[in-house]
Chains A and B, each alone.
Chain A
Amino acid sequence: MSAQIILATANDGLAKLDNYIKAGGYQALRKVLTEKISPEAIIAEVKASGLRGRGGAGFPTGLKWSFMPRNYDGVKYLVCNSDEGEPGTCKDRDILRYNPHLLIEGMAIAAYTMGVKTGYNYVHGEIFEAYEVMEAACEEARKAGYLGKNILGLDFEFDLHNHMGYGAYVCGEETALLESIEGKKGQPRYKPPFPASFGLYGKPTTINNTETFASIPCIIREGGQKFADLGVPNSGGIKLFSISGHVNNPGNFELPMGTPFKKLLELAGGVRKGHKLKAVIPGGSSMPVLPAEIMMDVNLDYDSLQKAGSYLGSGAVIVMDDTTCMVKALERLSYFYYEESCGQCTPCREGTGWLYRIIHRIEHGEGKPEDLDLLLDLCNNIAGRTVCALGDAAAWPVQGMLKHFRKEFEYHIEHKRCLV
């Protein structure tokens, strides 16, 4: 296995079909189709790989695939969630623009496994270039017989349509994404029913993240166990990490699951010169923040981060050094969730604005001592009370900040200025 399985750069030229094939592309699809591997066997392989949803929730992919009704007569859909809107996350964008055929191959294998003929790839509204690369790649794949009818000359049909979003964060929530594809306002649906029984246009649908699909060809080629062994128990395989913030060399890195954070920080060139690491948000902006002392001992996998009090999320690592005002940082984060709440359900619609306004007041020297407990109480009234997880996403950063940096907030309230 090469060092880089999913991550590519512009220099690799893999967006061109020829190059992708030269690099061993579409071998996994060919293997599945020519050897007529049974769907059960593929799902078993994916289960063995330990692959978990890379969009943030970390749901076991093999299990999700097994939920798709097998003997269903009607239309079924496969949807790729490329609506990468979580602040700090930019890994799927690189797959789309530098390695689009890997996604197509992964989706084709998934489609074969679940008996689906039509797929949609919902691309985030702000990455036009990635959408265009995907469109070109799909066209190439169609012409070369990797998409469309009789794929590879065999009795298998699958076509993939790219759908440009409009930039709403909430459309990254899978059911809001489905609504959006249907041409409606992107608002999450209440679940159950889950997409596997009532998905796109009310049909059974499987939705996976871009990186999840992109992991599939490797699993098929090399075997599930081998993929799993790259990582650690319960967090199989490799993962893309988008590191941003106060580091010298921000960007995407492909690393085995369980890699120590220290190693990632090193690869990213370390914290800016002359500054100390203060805190890290390890899994995208909605995950609770962790202070440096905890973070420097943490490995990047599902279990380790959960034990440390946060989550792996989408693998977006936001690094903050000692110049960061945590009140200001939280104000910025809360503003995001306030702006991106879809407005459908009460706690999120009304609560996110309230959170933001309180934090805004504190940042601007108008905080009151009782504000901090009020914030925590509001978070408890939002998290777990909403239709989708956006409510949780708005509450967790507040809870995390107040857990580890409460003193800084108190200082702000008392002195009406920053500690840093």
Chain B
Amino acid sequence: MINIEIDGIKIQTQNGATVIEAAHQAGITIPHFCYHKKLSIAANCRMCLVQVEKAPKPLPACATPVAEGMKVFTHSEQAVKAQKGVMEFLLVNHPLDCPICDQGGECMLQDMSVGYGGGHSRYHEEKRVVLGKDLGSLVSAEEMSRCINCTRCVRFLQEVAGQMELGQAFRGEHAEVMSFVSGTVNSELSGNIIDLCPVGALTSKPFRYKARSWELSRRRSVSAHDSLGSSLAVHTKNNRVLRVTPIENDDINECWLSDKDRFAYEGLNSADRLTKPMIKKDGQWQEVPWQVALEFAANGLRHLANGAGAEQVGALATANSTLEELYLLQKLMRGVGSDNVDFRLRQSDFSADGKQQGNNPHPNLPPVGEGANVSSLAGGEPRQFLPWLGMSIADIGKADRLLIVGSFLRKDHPLLAARIRRAVRKGAQANIIHSADDDLLMQVENKAIVAPDALVETLTQVSKAVAAKQSEGIAGSLLGGERVVVLLGNFAQQHPQSAQLQALAQQIAAATNGKFGFLGEAANSVGGYLAQATPGAKGLNAASMLAAPRKAYLLLNVEAELDCANPQQAVAAMQAADLVIAMSAYKHRATEYADVLLPVAPFTETSGTFISSEGRVQSFKGAVKPLGEARPAWKVLRVLGNLLKVDGFEFDTSEAVRDEAIGGMDIPAKLNNASQAATQSSILSPQSSGLQRVSDVPIYATDAVVRRSAPLQATADAVTPQAWLHSDELKKLGVQAGEIVKVSQGQGSVMLLAAADDKLPKGVVRVATGHAATAALGAMFGTISVERA
């Protein structure tokens, strides 16, 4: 520790700290622009000049390391003269167009100029004009004359996002920040440069001119679009969400937000919103009062359960539904006598279900004779397999060796990828096993890019190599670490042999004294298990419910053709069903197969709870009232429960639902990645001929809200899926990249552009799922054929 004095206040601080850090620790404000605690030190704005005893000239507090006995004066005559001088220089070429600037009211330059600027300008020469730049659909750089060249945006994209998409070109007064050869900024974290920009040079394109910051109400909320659980603020005006910004939370999202979390809100009020309950009568959709729609739904369910049998009813929900919704959905299903409920819509291997060691007394046991099975009668259900991160998010950043299996890491988990990127910059080694080789914008120590049917074999080899203490390759890298982390990505969890992958990854982690976990796919990938929205031993899982079609389906937020592992099968099952009740915020393709549409509220319009992949329980309140006649889904389910006369549906608040679901529950004890070896799970037979499908869920196709956000859909990441093949495979097919090909699976085929990616393994074609253009295809894994169109 080092003792210094700032403005006469004695401070103890770490060796190596800078003066500005020490000052901030002590609550002393030093004006600054370019300094940002999460970025490298640039020391270019010079606003933080302070007087240091014995130094002949003022020194930048952001770049001056503390020294024992140092005396710093932040408000001395010398310091203030320097700070005011810098402020004057910053303002000479700044347009001072605050009245029409979107940053007005939340502008660092505006705030600081109150304290350090003059009442009038001594500058009477011409001002610099910098032309606006088109950086894409998210970030506006229309008014680059406002830029003060602090380079925060440049440093963020280079250091955190991993790619230098912006740079400062030209010299001196002509210096300007611009993208490389007029390209757009394509980072999935690009929106953060809006927050970082201390002036109004970079503003939010969708939010521009919508409102003044002081007119907005800020409501604390939680990200609904990935499993990280980012803290965010929903800004509203006149009962409308106008923007979303991060709330700093060092354990989760630090001070960042992915573009998906930041701009998804633009999909909330899309023209596609379902605002009134509707039922299909004689093939025609009719808007009806809630009471009519709910009774229609309840009567239909009762009729079917009493007639065909309760096991003919299945419920499917997306994993970004709230805990309360998922809990009530399963409670309703079990109340009508069906265990067919699941939220793991893209999963294809369920063999780990019910194979876990140990028993847990099952909370909220279904009544004996209705839902109980042998093991529950014998003292509780088997301890549930409850895949989670296996560690805290912060632990991932502390890892020194990582093995990431089956993950489109950057697009599936943008902020986690940034955390890993930072660890790698500090010397950690990242190792990748996957079926595609997208650029992670970080150094990858070893990678094995293999076809999906070779993943298990590849991981087996690594496991053996680790056991044999091999010093090379992935095993060598992992064995050389002290804090090893093994992570299974979404792709690995969706894989038909996911249980085997999990068992192997677990072995590797154990043999390297590491931690092991799952990167959850959605906001409630953990919460869904805790809400018991899984079938248990008796019911049918998501895949079985569709493979063996039910007569009735209850859908919660599900777009069958986009959210399921096998869209073809899912849509066929829906179309064949006698009754489909769709609870949805949007009118989507359910109009083709549903019988009743119940408008429910997206996450900004309801209270609820998400349990993130690290097991963090985060409840939130609605930011605005539901649009039109839409209602929170937990209320809809509650009324359905009442109408169906299911016991225990007297909830007045979502908090009451939450408390019943997880109140008093020891959640950390429930999270359970360990499973008995699952070597008997389904085997994906190696393909002797034909192509295997590799499918990702594109970053802006993951859920219903994101799919409808126009600015996100206009980004480079949202281009229509193409059929990506190794160029040798293209040659075999006699197809050129850029030509249209016919891609077929099962009974369906789609026409896609062929594209070459020589980093893909041979024998595969990468075709994204979750997108209308590929919704006619079948399973995310397995055989697929490509031919000339």
Contacts and interface: CB of A to CB of B under 8 A. Distances in A.
B172 A190 contact: no
A351 interface: yes
Nearest to A380: B85
Contacts of A346: 44-47, 86, 89-90, 148-149
Interface stretch (A69-77, A228-236, A294-302, A334-342): A334-342
Contacts of B310: none
Interface in B186-223: none
B173 A347 contact: no
Contact of A347 (B42, B89, B148): B89
A386 B49 CA distance: 10
Interface stretch (B121-129, B321-329, B387-395, B641-649): B121-129
Interface in A346-392: 346-354, 357-358, 361, 374, 380-381, 384-387
A168 interface: yes
A186 B44 CA distance: 14
Contacts of B93: 350, 353
B19 to A, nearest CB: 13
B89 A350 contact: yes
A349 B58 contact: no
B426 interface: no
B167 to A, nearest CB: 8
A370 to B, nearest CB: 9
Given A190-B60, A354-B123, A354-B125, A381 B172 contact: no
Contact of A374 (B43, B60, B122): B122
B36 interface: no
Contacts of B107: none
Interface of B is mostly: loop
Contacts of B149: 343-344, 346, 349
Interface string A197-232: 000000000000000000000000000000000000
B58 A384 contact: yes
Contact of B49 (A339, A340, A385): A385
A345 interface: yes
Interface string B28-58: 0000000000000111111101000000111
Interface residues of B, number: 38
A404 interface: no
Contact of A385 (B41, B63, B82, B170): B82
Interface string B3-40: 00000000000000000000000000000000000000
A407 interface: no
Nearest to B86: A346
B60 A343 contact: no
A231 B9 CA distance: 51
Interface residues of A, number: 32
B125 A358 contact: yes
Given A357-B125, A384-B58, A385-B82, A343 B89 contact: no
B171 interface: yes
A376 to B, nearest CB: 13
B43 A345 contact: yes
A185 interface: yes
Interface string B70-87: 000000000001100110
Contact of A343 (B47, B49, B122, B168): B168
Given A345-B43, A350-B92, A354-B125, A381 B85 contact: yes
Given A345-B43, A350-B90, A354-B123, A384 B60 contact: no
B240 to A, nearest CB: 39
A344 B167 CA distance: 12
A354 B168 CA distance: 21
A86 to B, nearest CB: 17
A168 B174 CA distance: 14
B696 interface: no
A359 B41 CA distance: 34
Q: Name the residue in B60, B63, B88 with the highest tally of chain A Cβ atoms < 10 Å from its Cβ.
A: B88
Interface in B477-522: none
Contacts of A338: 172-173
B683 interface: no
A343 B57 contact: no
B772 interface: no
A352 B148 contact: no
9 contacts: A338-B173, A343-B172, A347-B46, A349-B149, A350-B90, A353-B172, A374-B122, A385-B58, A387-B44
Interface of A: 168, 170, 185, 190, 192, 338-354, 357-358, 361, 374, 380-381, 384-387
User: Which 4 pairs between the two chains have the least Cβ-Cβ distance?
Assistant: A343-B175, A381-B85, A341-B172, A384-B57
Given A341-B171, A346-B47, A349-B149, 19 more contacts: A168-B171, A170-B171, A185-B168, A190-B43, A338-B172, A342-B171, A343-B173, A345-B43, A345-B45, A347-B46, A351-B89, A353-B93, A353-B125, A358-B125, A361-B125, A381-B86, A385-B46, A385-B57, A387-B43
